[in-house]
Every structure is written in C-alpha cells, then in structure tokens.
C-alpha cells in the first residue's frame, strides 16, 4: 500500500516515506494481568496443593516442605520433588 502511494505523482511531491510512516497508528500498550500477592507459602504442600496439616517432610536439597503423608505416597510411587527433581527420601 505504501508503494502504491509513492507511485502517484502527488505523493512523491508532497510526502516522503518518513511522513507516511509517522502517520501510522501505534497499537495500544499490552494490558498486564493484575499482580497476585501470595501469602504464607511456608506451610503449602506442592503435592496436594493445600496447607500442610500435621507432620512436615522437608526436601534435603531445596528445603521445600511437604506433608509427611504426601511425601510417603510420593516415595512409594517413585515421584520426585516438584521444585528440584530430587528423589523423595524418607
């Protein structure tokens, strides 16, 4: 379309490419999602995605905390730590 404008003798005389490019509409800035504030993540089990109740298992490598019950189930199923991929050792 710009080339078609430049082919016409009127546009060659009155406008340069910079003038035509300056008139382009600029898209609006992106809309970012609202910020989410996470509180009290110390007592959150990443296996069952809930608060830890009862005894706690702590990963020896990354210190992530899990419910002892969830950690035992994960060990029996051969699962790894969600955060560092360390084998669950109890």
pLDDT by position in tens, the chain (length 90): 555 555 554 445 555 666 666 667 777 888 888 876 666 567 899 999 999 989 999 999 999 999 999 999 999 999 999 999 999 988
> Is 0.85 topped by the overall pTM?
no
The answer to the question of residue 2 being in a domain is no
The answer to the question of residue 6 being in a domain is no
Residue 46: which domain range? 40-90
pLDDT of 18 reads 66
The answer to the question of residue 89 being in a domain is yes
The answer to the question of residue 34 being in a domain is no
| SS3 per residue for 24-71 | CCCCCCCCCCCCCCCCCCCCEECCCCEECCCCEEECCCCCCEEEHHHH
The answer to the question of residue 87 being in a domain is yes
The answer to the question of residue 69 being in a domain is yes
Q: Provide the domain count of the chain.
A: 1
pLDDT of 78 reads 92
């Amino acid at each position: 379309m710009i080339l078609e404008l430049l082919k016409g003798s009127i546009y060659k005389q009155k406008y340069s490419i910079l003038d035509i490019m300056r008139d382009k509409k600029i898209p609006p800035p992106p809309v970012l999602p609202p910020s989410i504030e996470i509180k009290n993540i110390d007592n959150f089990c990443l296996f069952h995605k809930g608060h830890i109740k009862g005894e706690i298992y702590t990963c020896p490598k990354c210190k992530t905390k899990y419910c002892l019950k969830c950690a035992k189930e994960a060990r029996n199923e051969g699962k790894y730590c969600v955060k560092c991929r360390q084998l669950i050792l109890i």
